[in-house]
Structure 1
Amino acid sequence: MVTFFEASLSQLSIHRIGNKSQDEFYVLSEHPFRMEDETLNNLLLQYFLKPFEKVNEVYHFMHSSDNLDLNEAFHFSTAMFENEEAFHENTENLAKYLYEISTHPKIKPGELYVAYFKNVQIEGELLDAIGIFKSETKETYFKVYPDQSGFKMEYEQEAINIQKLDKGCLIFRTSKEEGYKVVVTDQTNRNAEAVYWKDEFLKLKIRNDSFNQTNNTLGVYKSFVSTKLDEEFEMNKADKIDLLNKSMKYFKEKESFDIDEFSNEVIGNPQAIESFKNFKSDYEKEFDTQIADSFDISSAAVKKQARVYKSVLKLDRNFHIYIHGNRELIEKGFDDGKSMNYYKVYFKEEE
């Protein structure tokens, strides 16, 4: 979704952010970073932008009051877009704000990079973008080089691996009234302390487009089949896999989703259909996310969900049965003599 083969890095400011709750401080650079080395410039483009090539979800800035100007990241980003000469000053403001919310004891100190890019592509459109990145994880590297008749070795401690961006976001100069288009990554913290980056610092909400509608609907349906159906209906794992396969077939063959059509073709049972719609409604309320009853299907989202839709029936440690087609060709039974369950599988040819 994000490509950068035409991108250039026009401005960069670097600051250091400590953990306020640990009595650490922030350090602000007085001037923007001077980019005089072309190789370094290209390495920075790779370090900052390459992690976003596989990011599909697009977010936008939000604020609980519905006044976007009260969202600090939105406010300072807008100031940078509208006045590039004030870029460095606003990066300092961002750094101070990030420091103020860095209060969880597990938040690591690190360098904050704020960059201004030209010609970054998202969804086929070339745009200016502001990047906000933080490096927290440091590593040790060896450097080996020839020396007379042998080799010398040196090491560098507290170095940054350019293949591992810890935290970052790209803010694209488009759709300002809706809170811009924003993509985000966070590779270091996936527990409670991680929310400070996306939820507290950036205050992001996922965009309600076809990708997210498709992704969320498939995710909700998978959760419904995996967890909810057992409470109301007697179903074995083969039946559940069949329902998941039918839903994936629907999304792969159709261009658009309609909840009534989907429910009738995939689920069939009126009680189960009502249960699914109630399950979807409860999800929307719990996560404050509206999933439309009809939308265009995103093939990228279907491909993503297909990776986690399981069609494997695991039987103890002896057998795995992959169910891809007709559910009627596999039967479950119980052998009284062996006191064990069994599956009977019908087929015409063995390959």
Structure 2
Amino acid sequence: MISFFEASLKQLSIHHTGNKILDEYYRLSDKPLNISDEVLGNLLMQYFLKPFEKVNEVYRFCHPNDNLQLNEVYHFVHEIFENNELFHENSQQLAKHLHDVANHPKIKSGEFYVAFFNNVQIEGEQLEVVGVFKSETKDTYLKVYPEDDGFGMSFEQEAISINKLDKGCLIFNTDQKEGYKVVVLDQTNRSTESAVYWKDEFLKLKIRNDSYNQTNNVLGVYKNFVTQKLDDDYEISKADKIDLLNRSMKYFKEKETFDIEEFGNEVIGSAEGIESFKNYKKNYEEEYESPIADHFEIAESAVKKQARAYKSVLKLDKNFHIYIHGNKELIEKGYDDDKLMNYYKVFFREEE
């Protein structure tokens, strides 16, 4: 969804931010970095932009008081878009704000980058972009080079790998009144409390409630409904669960729009099951404050993403795996009294 084959890096400012709660301070540069080396420029483009090639979710800036101007990152980025001469000054303000929200002992210090790009493409539109990034992870690199009649070796410690962007965010200069189009990634501390400081405390983002998000949410909610909720209400076999998941994926791959009534009738089938799914969906919307429409356009990219998480494998002890892709009526479950074991009977016409 994001491409940068025509993009160019126009400005870059680098600062350093520490952990406020550990009494680590911040260091601000006096001026932007002068990038005269073409190779360095290309490496920076790869470092900053390439990790976003497979990012699909689009966010908006928000604020608890519903006043976007109170969102610090939105405010400073908006000033950059309005007047590019204020780029470095506002990059310093962004660095100070990042330091202010570093209030968890596990937050690492690191370099903070603010970049200005031209012609980065999102959803078919080429736009100006402000990127904010942070590098926290350092590596040691070995360098081997020819020397006399053999080779020499050196090393560099505390270096940054261009293939390991720790945290990043791209803000696209469009939909300004709605909070811009924003894509984000955080590849460190994703399972810890300190992870929230980048997206929730520093950026203050909410997911854009578009067709991608609606499709992704319904498929995720339905998968949890089948794999977790149904066991509480019904006696249902794993083969039947897989069939329900396969039918839902078939629906989303073949249809252009989602309609909850049509989906319930074609996929779930029973009135009791349909009502149970609607209640499960409603509880999800209330718990996560994320409404899902009963009718929306299906996003193919979200279907492809969720298809990887939908399992159609029936695992039998440690001996057999049965992959169920089609008609569930062609597989039967039984119990052998002599062997005191369950069994499946599979019907087919040709062996391939």
CA distance in 2, matches of 1:189, 1:83: 35
1:16 matches 2:33: no
CA deviations over 1:212-240 (Å, ceiling 9, x no partner): 11111100000000100111111010000
CA distance in 2, matches of 1:94, 1:174: 20
CA distance in 1, matches of 2:49, 2:329: 49
1:64 matches 2:64: yes
**Correspondence for 2:244:** 243
**Correspondence for 1:98:** 98
> Deviation at 1:193?
1.1
What TM-score comes out, normalization by structure 1 length?
0.99
1:338 matches 2:339: yes
**Correspondence for 1:51:** 51
CA deviations over 1:49-85 (Å, ceiling 9, x no partner): 0000000000010111110000111011101110110
> Deviation at 1:284?
0.7
Q: 2:105 is aligned with what amino acid?
A: P
CA distance in 2, matches of 1:265, 1:192: 41
**Correspondence for 1:141:** 141
> Deviation at 1:333?
1.1
Q: Aligned residues: percent identity? A: 70
**Correspondence for 1:233:** 234
CA distance in 1, matches of 2:218, 2:193: 25
Number of residue pairs matched? 351
Q: 2:278 is aligned with what amino acid?
A: K
> Deviation at 1:303?
0.6
> Deviation at 1:348?
1.1
**Secondary structure at the residue paired with 1:220?**
helix
- Which of 196-205 and 331-340 deviates more? 331-340
**Correspondence for 2:268:** 267
**Correspondence for 1:328:** 329
- Which of 88-97 and 331-340 deviates more? 331-340
CA distance in 2, matches of 1:60, 1:328: 46
> Deviation at 1:189?
1.2
**Correspondence for 1:161:** 161
Across the aligned residues of Structure 1 and Structure 2, the Cα RMSD in angstroms comes to 0.6
> Deviation at 1:41?
0.5
> Deviation at 1:90?
0.5
CA deviations over 1:17-50 (Å, ceiling 9, x no partner): 1001111110000111111111100100000000
Segments of 4+ moved more than 2 angstroms? none
**Equivalent runs, 1:170-209 vs 2, <5 Å:** 170-190=170-190, 191-209=192-210
- Which of 70-79 and 336-345 deviates more? 336-345
**Equivalent runs, 1:308-319 vs 2, <5 Å:** 308-319=309-320
> Deviation at 1:338?
1.6
CA distance in 2, matches of 1:117, 1:3: 12
1:39 matches 2:20: no
**Secondary structure at the residue paired with 1:156?**
strand
CA distance in 2, matches of 1:222, 1:325: 18
CA distance in 2, matches of 1:333, 1:349: 23
> Deviation at 1:131?
0.2
**Secondary structure at the residue paired with 1:286?**
helix
